[in-house]
Structure 1
Amino acid sequence: MTGFGVLLRKEWREHTRNFKMLWIPLVFIIFGIMEPITNHFLPQIMQSVGNMPEGMDFLWPELQGADIFASLLGQYQFVGILIIVLAFMGTISGERKNGTATLLYVRPMSFRAYFLSKWLVANVIVLGSAWLGFMAAWYYIEILFNHVEAGKVFSFMATYSLWLVFVVTVVLALSAWLPTGGAAGLAIGITLVYQLVDSIIGAYWAVSPWKLAMYATYWFQVDADLSDLWMSVAVSVVLIIILILFGIFMSKRNAAKTTV
């Protein structure tokens, strides 16, 4: 692939200069730290500010480490996905609009290398941020709650990572196809709104990339049926490949729309 290494370094420097290497991991880490701490001290907080009648005890369910991971995943499913969309919605369309892409397109560049360099760097940032957040949560879960087996935690994170790769690929493919505003709106619809649809009527289908987050929590369950998980993994991988090919095609097709 022509110039892949050069494009990779260009993407890495660009995301470093706009501080995505800093603020995206910080957001995930902060949520990872706050989730176990907040859940641990929530009964005391409710008792102190809840204006409860004297003598009434506040009963709070006894949470386990797996419950905290599931709760944190819920935070990432909304805030984390929204951050990914907003951070990368203009990755390709933005370069076309501001004319930056002109400096690249006039060179002997492979559009496959162009798209894949952006895809790889974005996934490194997102997955690195999510894993740092989960590891921070795991540290406080071990201190404040109970021990969670490493094998289950890593299986949980690996399954959720595939969902994040799917989200990043959707955002970049849409950025290659549509203007920044359209890419953002459609990406939010596909990744966030469809989650709501899946939660309402998703009982009618068991295999879907949108179910990967739910299936990730199955690793904490005893004797859980993982057959639908593996089918969803296979479908997700196929869709990711299709979206990558679509993104490469649209990057090349829309090159002529670049502002000069």
Structure 2
Amino acid sequence: MNSFSVLLRKELRENVRNFKLYWIPIVFVIFGILEPVTNHFLPEIMKSVGNLPDGAQFNWPQFQGEDIFVSLMSQYQTIGILVIILAFMGTISSERKNGTATLLYVRPMSFGSYFLSKWIVINGIILGSVWLGFFAAWYYIQILFNPVAAGDVFAFLATYSVWIIFAVTVVLFFSAWLSTGAAAGLSIVVLLILQIIDSVIGAFWTVSPWKVSTYATMMFSSISNQSGFWMSIGVTVVLIGALMFLGINSAKRNAAKTTV
């Protein structure tokens, strides 16, 4: 446990030193603020710069607060996932390449503690950033739109957090298994390309990790397929555990490739 706590502190210090602990939350909070503010003032902006002919009516849809949460989530599903990939694609592979891992591997530590310490710190940073972004959006939604029930918001965030943890685990697994470039490429395929495929032809199935974000949006209304929801959550949790196990073994197996 002592070596594990040392590894946790090491990961936290490293993320403070490279400013990820600061700039990642800022990115998510900025998007969280911009989404409700932009959607509120966009009709006026369009009227002032739209060059509409005299007498023309510009009918803009009336958004509800729940719609803004869903719209912000779609931003996080693309830009947010890219931030996760770009920030952490080299978490383990870069340490092997630059020789930093050598200083760790010669010490009495388990690869489980090594992988888990990174997993905990990265999830803490990303989940904290995502929740701060949604809380910032919620504040402006309450002011500019309609109030949204706290129970619905927290159910939405808890469900969406399962997807975020899955995304972080995918990136960390590929970083343990492959080089930094390959980890980035496969992470994009799994988290972005497969997400697009699921949105296009996903009507043919109801259980998938890529369905979790869709089920999260249903927290603002009602989930018509409770079994599909819980099975998707269950499958995602199992995959997270499997990827962690494979990531630990990959880090151990690739230790010999570390630059000395």
Consecutive unaligned residues in structure 2, runs of 5 or more = none
- Displacement after TM superposition at 1:16 (Å): 0.3
Query: 1:3 is paired with a residue of what secondary structure?
Result: helix
- 8 A contact 1:96–1:258 mirrored in 2: yes
Q: What TM-score results when the alignment is normalised by the length of structure 1? A: 0.98
> Helix, strand or coil: the match of 1:218?
helix
The answer on 1:172 being equivalent to 2:172 is yes
Q: Which moves more between the two structures, 227-236 or 86-95?
A: 227-236
Does residue 107 of structure 1 match 2:107?
A: yes
- Per the TM alignment, residue 255 of structure 1 is displaced from its structure 2 partner at its CA by 0.3
> Who is 2:7 aligned against?
7
Distance 1:175 1:225 in 2: 35
Question: In the aligned structure 1, how far is the partner of 2:103 from the partner of 2:60?
Answer: 59
Is the 1:174–1:183 contact (alpha carbons within 8 Å) kept by the matching residues of 2?
yes
Structure 2 CA distance, aligned partners of 1:147 and 1:34?
Answer: 18
Show CA shifts across 1:101-131 (max 9, x none): 0000011111000000000000000000000
Unaligned runs of 5+ in 1: none
Q: How does 1:1-260 map to 2 (within 5 A)?
A: 3-222=3-222, 224-260=224-260
C-alpha separation in 1, matches of 2:256 and 2:54: 72
CA deviations on 1:171-222 (whole Å, 9 max, x unpaired) are 0000000000000000011000111111111111110111111110101014
Aligned residues: 260
Give the alignment's Cα RMSD to 1 decimal.
0.9
Distance in 1, Cα, partners of 2:210 & 2:176:
22
Aligned-partner Cα distance in 2 for 1:222–1:198 = 21
Is contact 2:207–2:232 with CA below 8 Å preserved after alignment? yes
- Normalising by structure 2, we get a TM-score of 0.98
Once the two structures are aligned, what percentage of the paired residues are identical? 67
Conserved in 2, the CA contact under 8 Å of 1:176 and 1:251?
yes
